[in-house]
Amino acid sequence: MIGIALRDAKGPFALGIAGSILYAAMSVVASLVLGWATDEVLLPIVASGEIDGQLLVVAMLLIVGVATLKAVGVVGRRLGAYIAQFSLQSQYRRRVTRRYLDLPIAWHRRHPTGELLSNANADVESAFFVAAPLPMAIGATLLVLFTGGLLVATDPFLAAIGFSVGPLLAFANWFYQRRMRSAATVAQQARAEVSEIAHASFDGALVIKTMGREDQEAQGFREVAEDLRDKMIRVGKLRAFFDPVIEALPNIGILLVLLVGALRVRDGALTAGDLVTFAYLFRLVALPIRVFGWLLGELPRAVVGWDRVERVLQATGRMDHGDQRTTGEGGADVRSEAVGFTHPSSVREELSGPVIASVTPEGAGARGVSSVSFDVPAGRTVALVGATGSGKSTVAALLVRLFDPDTGQISLDDHDLKDLGRDELSRNAAIVFQDAFLFDDTVAENISLGAPVSSEQIEQAARLARADGFIRELDHGYDTVVGERGATLSGGQRQRIALARALVREPRLLVLDDATSAVDPSVESEILRGLSEAELPSTVVLVAYRQGSIALADEVFYLREGAVAARGTHEQLLQDVAGYRDLVTAYEHPGEDADATPGDRP
Amino acid sequence: MTATSATPEPSEGPLRTVVRGVSLSPELRVGLPGTLALALVATAGRAIVPIAIQQTIDSGLGDGGVDLDLIARVVGFAGLAVVLTALASGWMNYRLATVVETALSNLRVHAFRHIHDLSMLHQAAQQRGSLVSRVTTDIDEISRFMQWGGLNLITSSGQLLVATIVMFAYSWQLTLVVLLLFVPFVLAARWFQVRLTAAYQVVRENIGRLLGVVAETVVGAPVVRAYGVEERTQVRLDAAIEDHRRSAVRAGGFSSLFSGSGEIFGALASAGVLAVGIWLGVGGDITPGTVIAFLFLITLFVDPVLIAAEVINEGQNAVAGWRRVLDILDVPPDVADPGDEGLDLPPGPIGIGFEDVAFRYPHAGETAQEASGPVVLRDVALTIEPQSRVAVVGETGSGKTTFAKLLTRLMDPVEGRILLAGVPIDRVRFGSLRKRVVMVPQDGALFDGSIADNVRMGNPDLSDDDLELAFLELGLADWVDELPDHLDTRVGERGSGLSGGERQLVALARAYVSNPDLLVLDEATSAVDPATEMRLQRALTGLTQGRTTVTIAHRMSTAEAADEVLVFDQGRIVQRGPHDVLLAEGGVYGGLHASWVRGTSGAHDSA
């Protein structure tokens, strides 16, 4: 992994490592200069009582000069590390998000949103967090080697004494990091728990309020908060114990060196200046050893992050495109032949974490389709009707190739969707989902999505979607920024903008998947009537619940258990198919439903 | 984790926030003098080694040869001091961690409980995420900062202080030299710090934007795919990623230059000390050992300044987080429980009275009392007889949901008053109110847990048999049987494992077991399949029997079956009476009814 980091950010690392080496070298030189200044400048001058101005100036220049080089080294090292770290982050963010755009929707469905978000953000970040201390660690290795050599050359005996502290320090560090990691992981879990409880509790605020359960909620929260507190105190305890030990060890080493060094000076094996150098160098080594500890401590986190990033980069599955083009005009001819498809949501790749039953568009009921065959002649409007779980939304998604069918095929103008060129289908077909998704951009941009359309066309589409009125009342009209996911708009307004987005492209196939469910009923009927009166050059397939919408279709496909059970006009089906009749009239007179017991009427 | 870029420029200084914060968490002051004393001892320890070196060189290795006895004494003494200061520093760390974590844990719970008393929690769903960060990431930041940054700040200033004292003790002349040479460094530090703060602010904003764009890509994947706008999305992503990189490198550049400048200033001070030291040494004022000790002490001087600048940066986040927590605590609970001074609702069915009630929502940042938003309800005056069934109808934004929330005291009116069974609603103890008045929200509002858990929230003492009986009485036994684990079926996060209609079934059962005298229902708006629809109706029939019921109706059938219909339009009640009468009157109700009949077959709504 460090290899990958080094490979993908060669330049910055070269800068960082060069800076680090310069810094390390100059640290050693600085201590030599200090020692020399003590022995050759300070002591003789003070002893002789005569100031040798020239020598003094040389010493001062040396000190400042060496420090300047050291500063250059430090800036190079840190800057290199920063550039490396952030360029790696951005490189891999780009690669991960490119994969997101490439991988099929089926893959997206298998992964919780939160996981994908953290892959691109937190995981990439932690994977390359090691990049920061890397140049310093490499410099530190050299520094330790340098210093070691120098100390040994000056006085091997004293060096041995001093370095005896090293292994102790390394061991303490290793032990500390190990204990710390498990304590920190436990605390992290407790923190996640706190966040989860707070989320759930605030989300359910209304019920909690109506049931008067605030105090019980606070009690439950107190328990997890106190659990977190205890675990954080444990982390603090560990640090409280180890930090001073790690700080004290080098000091003890220096004191030992002083004591033994004094003996050596007495024996004439060492000068006083050498001893000063020694003490200074010794302090230099203490810091790098800590950096190593830090690097090692970060590594496990980085490896986990990298693994998660790599899983996205190596995810398989892609949607291949053909190179056929369709030359048709006006409404498209759509055909589905024995199409079968099972949603992959039940098979989770991620085994950890709670499995939430539903991530599919139809909620828990989505079970895919078993064998759906139909054809929609060009320019017709067809309604897909069926109970929850009958496969309506699945068919809608298959028509615009969000998924590929497991069996059978879907074709547009006699081209299998799989054979169409990459952008060919999106040029010809548009879908509007029930859950209208808006980007954090202006209303106009949300409608055009970068398509080459004029503002007149945008307004025209908005009028057709009955959105023009409220858009004009927004602060900046069509240039109003809608906020993250359209937070400033109501659900019905979002749906109408999403509808305009589809209409502005004048699609030859328009798929409406319960696209106006949040719109006031009177507005909805206006929209649908407007659509049919506009005589769009489109084939329209709509998933609908309300009789008013269904009645507008030329033909109705009644879906049951993943297959087309019956087709015909609304009136025909009402008359001939009991299941259909029950379904579409269920909302009208609920109490009179065949199964309801008399007297049950509300 | 959370980007808080939206926070406006702070109106109060960081120091003011910290003072306010500490006064709200007095636990933070527990044992503070002791901790500070320990900090002083711990940092004093950092001067020990330079002193020992000085003593050894000056006295031990003086002209008279090597004085081993003295050196042994010095080293032994210093060793003891090192151990003692290590102990002091460990003890200080431990005390700090305990005090900080205890105080913050209490602050967390305090804020959590307080937020539940703010009506904004359920009024503004989009703010919920940020309210969660008030009790999670914001407080985590404070904890991290206090234990890392706060500690460093204490020890750094201690170090600065001790180093200065020691230096003065050695030689006031040399100390002056060092201090003088450090003036430009402190000025430079200030210069860097201002730029670093600004640079990191930009980084934070860019991270927020990056997170937003990535979230769009992930959540909006079906739209991106279906509309073939991958390239456009990629351009947006790349721009956000690149902006973040550039700003982060820029901030890193400032930080790198700053640490480089520390080296240079340190060296300037060393050179100055050497020159002046030699000059003084020649004059006989100080010894060479003093000069050498100074060269060591100077490093003690540079680090704290570098660290302080870094800490102040990190501190920005923490202080901003702390301020946000304090600000939320400052919002007075707008719907307060009268507590022991309150009254209980008299037993028996509950009638309702509204006396010239008006309501307006507060703008963002306003408390309920200062509300200056648009008026959503005005001049509502009515009485509803006990045990009657009332349907409330109206277009989106007509005020019908506000009416329901006032009725259950999820909010208080801005004008007028509301009576339940003759008692002003704000005089009723919550204990009594929440037991007797139950609201069933539209989406059911379930918690992750089993169906049984969710229903038991309505009546915690319910036995398993009673629970099953409740479902049987509501005609839901067959539905429960179809579920994989029956009553133990987990509903998933926010009930996501169930369909919308099924969620409401659970909510109805929950209301049923709490046996209220006034039931306020918000009908489900999304379409449900017929089987669930039928069960809903069946359960509703059982539930509403013999209780005063107010239903926000989205179905024609509900309005038809009600004893009385209230028609809301633009915040007023414009019509009231039984369905047949209203239908004959025409008016707003006639229009609503016609559009129901024309456009739909009942299940519909409005957002």
Cross-chain residue pair B557–A265, CB shorter than 8 Å: no
What is the nearest CA distance from A369 to chain B, expressed in angstroms?
18
Judge if B81 and B188 occupy the same domain: no
Check residue B448 and report its DSSP letter.
Answer: S
Residues 6+ apart with CB under 8 A from B258: B188, B189, B192, B196, B306, B309
B94 within a domain of the structure (yes/no): yes
User: Which pLDDT score, from 0 to 100, does residue A128 have?
Assistant: 82
User: CA torsion sign, A72 to A74 to A75 to A81?
Assistant: positive
For residue A324, give the DSSP letter.
Answer: B
Which chain A residues are within 8 Å of B282, Cβ to Cβ?
45-46, 49-51
Same domain as B187, residue B153: no
**Cβ-based contacts of B100 with chain A (< 8 Å):** 236
Contacts of A303 (CB under 8 A, 6+ apart): A1
Looking at the structure, tell me whether residues B232 and B129 fall in a common domain.
Answer: no
Q: Are B161 and B217 found together in one domain? A: no
Q: What angle do CA B282, B284, B287 make, to 5 degrees?
A: 90
Q: What are the two backbone dihedrals, phi and then psi, of residue A377, each rounded to the nearest 5 degrees?
A: -65, 155
| Pair B198, B140 in one domain | no
Asked if B438 and B420 touch (Cβ cutoff 8 Å), the reply is no
- Please check whether residue A235 touches B, CB under 8 A: yes
How much is the pLDDT for B520? 86
CB contact (8 A) between residue B241 and residue A94? yes
Report residue A459 as tokens: 């307004």
Contact present, A512 and A540 (Cβ < 8 Å): yes
Contact B226 A87 (CB under 8 A): no
Nearest CA in chain B to A489: B607
Query: What local confidence, expressed as pLDDT, does residue A94 receive?
Result: 93
Pairwise pLDDT comparison (A38 vs B78), residue with the higher score: B78
Q: Which of B249, B445, B533 shows the shortest C-beta gap to A86?
A: B249
| Separation between Cα atoms, residue B96 and residue B31, nearest integer Å | 9
Q: Does the CB of A445 have a partner CB in chain B at under 8 Å?
A: no
Nearest beta carbon to residue B256 from set A75, A279, A548: A75
Distance separating alpha carbons of residues B499 and B522, to the nearest angstrom = 17
My answer on whether B275 and B325 are in the same domain is no
- Do A221 and B112 lie within an 8 Å CB cutoff? yes
Mean of the per-residue pLDDT values for chain A? Answer: 79
The one-character DSSP state at B495 is G
Per-residue pLDDT of B522-551, as tens digits, reads 776 555 666 667 777 777 777 777 888 888
Q: Do A83 and B438 touch (CB under 8 A)?
A: no
Contact A96, A127 (CB under 8 A): no
Which one of A199, A203, A482 makes the best mutation probe of the B interface by having the most chain B beta carbons within 10 Å? Answer: A203
Q: Looking at the complex, does the CB of residue A277 fall below 8 Å from at least one CB of chain B? A: no
Band (pLDDT 50/70/90 cuts) for residue A226 is very high
In a domain, residue B113? The reply is yes
Which residue in B58, B256, B479, B545 has the most chain A C-beta atoms within 10 A of its own C-beta, making it the best mutation to test that interface? B256
Kindly state whether A101 is in contact with chain B, defined as any CB-CB distance less than 8 angstroms: yes
Q: Does A473 touch chain B (CB under 8 A)?
A: no
Q: Is the pLDDT of residue B562 over 90?
A: no
What is the band of B370 on the pLDDT scale with cuts at 50, 70, 90? Answer: low
pLDDT band at residue A602 under the 50/70/90 scheme: very low
Same domain, yes or no, for B136 and B28?
A: yes
Chain-chain contact of B132 with A195 (C-beta, under 8 angstroms)? yes
Does residue B308 fall inside a structural domain?
no
Longest dimension (CA), chain B: 121
Structure tokens at B536: 């809903």
d(CA B145, CA B158): 18
Report how far Cα A321 is from the mean position of its chain's Cα atoms. Answer: 27
Chain B CB within 8 Å of residue A287 CB: no
Residues B159 and B233 in one domain: no
Give the list of residues 6+ apart from residue B150 with CB closer than 8 angstroms, or none: B96, B100
Q: How confident is the model at residue A546 (pLDDT cuts 50, 70, 90)?
A: confident
Burial classification of residue B193, based on how many CB atoms lie within 10 Å of its CB (0-12 exposed, 13-18 middle, 19 or more buried): middle
Among B48, B91, B445, beta carbon nearest to A204: B445
pLDDT exceeds cutoff 50 at A567: yes
Average pLDDT over residues B48-69: 72
Q: With contact defined as beta carbons under 8 Å apart, do B576 and B390 qualify?
A: no
Task: Categorize the per-residue pLDDT at A354 as very low, low, confident or very high, splitting at 50, 70 and 90.
Answer: very low
Distance from CA of A145 to the nearest CA of B (A): 23
Contact A437 B223 (CB under 8 A): yes
pLDDT recorded at residue A594 = 33
Between CA B391 and CA B399 the distance in angstroms is: 14
The verdict on a CB contact (< 8 Å) between A517 and B282 is no
- The per-residue pLDDT of chain B, averaged, comes to 79
Considering the domain A334-347+358-591 in this protein, what is its CATH number?
Answer: 3.40.50.300
Domain spans in chain A, listed from the N-terminal domain onward: 1-155, 156-269, 334-347+358-591
**Residue of chain B whose alpha carbon sits nearest to that of A387:** B529
- Residues A278-313: tens digit of each pLDDT: 776 776 666 666 666 667 666 777 777 888 888 888
**What confidence score (pLDDT) does residue B497 get?**
66
**Nearest by CB to A248, which of B86, B143, B439?**
B86
Question: For the domain A1-155, what is the CATH superfamily, name and number?
Answer: ABC transporter type 1, transmembrane domain (1.20.1560.10)
Q: Which residue from A261, A312, A359 is spatially nearest to A92, judged by alpha carbons?
A: A312
Q: Do B130 and B178 lie in a common domain?
A: no
For A429-466, the pLDDT digits (tens) are 889 887 788 888 889 998 988 888 888 999 989 998 88
**Which of A8, A22, A33, A46 to mutate against chain B (most B CBs within 10 Å)?**
A46
Chain A partners of B136 at a C-beta cutoff of 8 Å? 191, 194-195, 198
Among A337-351, A450-464, B532-546, B575-589, top mean pLDDT goes to A450-464
Q: How far is CA B518 from CA B386, B440, B538, in A?
A: 9, 11, 19
Radius of gyration of chain A from Cα atoms?
36
Q: What confidence category does residue B127 fall into, taking pLDDT thresholds of 50, 70 and 90?
A: low
Q: Identify the domain containing residue B216 by its residue range.
A: 172-285
- DSSP category for residue B427: G
Answer yes or no: is B11 within a domain.
no
> Which structure tokens are listed for A298?
């970060």
Helix, strand and coil in chain B, % to nearest 5: 65, 10, 25
User: Is residue A591 less than 8 Å (CB to CB) from chain B?
Assistant: yes
User: What local confidence, expressed as pLDDT, does residue A7 receive?
Assistant: 79
pLDDT at B492: 66
Q: How far apart are CA B288 and CA A47, in angstroms?
A: 9
In the DSSP assignment, the letter for residue A559 is: E
Of B126, B264, B448, the CB nearest to A71: B264
Q: Give the pLDDT score at B372.
A: 63
Instruction: State yes or no: pLDDT of B564 exceeds 70.
Output: yes
When pLDDT is averaged across residues A173-200 and rounded to a whole number, the result is 81
Q: A417: buried, middle or exposed (CB in 10 Å: 19+, 13-18, 0-12)? A: buried
A516 touches chain B (CB under 8 A): no
Q: Determine which of A91, A235, A258, A512 to mutate to test the interface with B (most B C-beta atoms within 10 Å).
A: A258
In the chain, the amino acid numbered B568 is F
> What pLDDT, on the 0 to 100 scale, is given for residue B6?
38
Number of CB pairs, chain A paired with chain B, less than 8 A apart: 510
B167 and B177 together in one domain: no
Mean pLDDT of A477-488: 76
Angle, helices A165-203/A214-266, rounded to nearest 10 degrees: 170
Shared-domain flag, residues B187 and B167: no
CATH at residue B566: 3.40.50.300
Output the CA–CA distances (angstroms, integers) from residue A22 to A25, A26, A428, in the order listed: 5, 6, 62
Helices (H), B220-344: 221-226, 230-282, 288-330
| Mutation to test the A interface, candidates B121, B223, B514, B593, most A Cβ within 10 Å | B223
Spell out a b/e string for A12-48, using b for 16 or more CB atoms within 10 Å of the CB, else e: bbebbbbbbbbbbbbbbbbbbbbbbbbbebbbebbee
Backbone angles phi and psi of A273, in degrees to 5? -60, -40
Residues B587 and B473 in one domain: yes
Alpha carbon of B431 to those of A410, A553, B436: distances in Å? Answer: 60, 54, 9
pLDDT digits (tens, 9 = 90+) for B180-221: 888 888 888 888 888 887 888 788 788 878 888 888 888 888
Q: Are strands A334-341 and A369-376 parallel, antiparallel or unpaired?
A: antiparallel
Show Cβ contacts of residue B88 under 8 Å, excluding neighbours closer than 6 positions: B38, B41, B42, B45
| Rounded Cα gap, residues B455 and B462, in angstroms | 9
pLDDT at residue A591 in the model: 36
Query: How many domains would you assign to chain B?
Result: 3
Residues in CB range of A123: below 8 A, 6 or more apart: A304, A305, A306, A308, A309
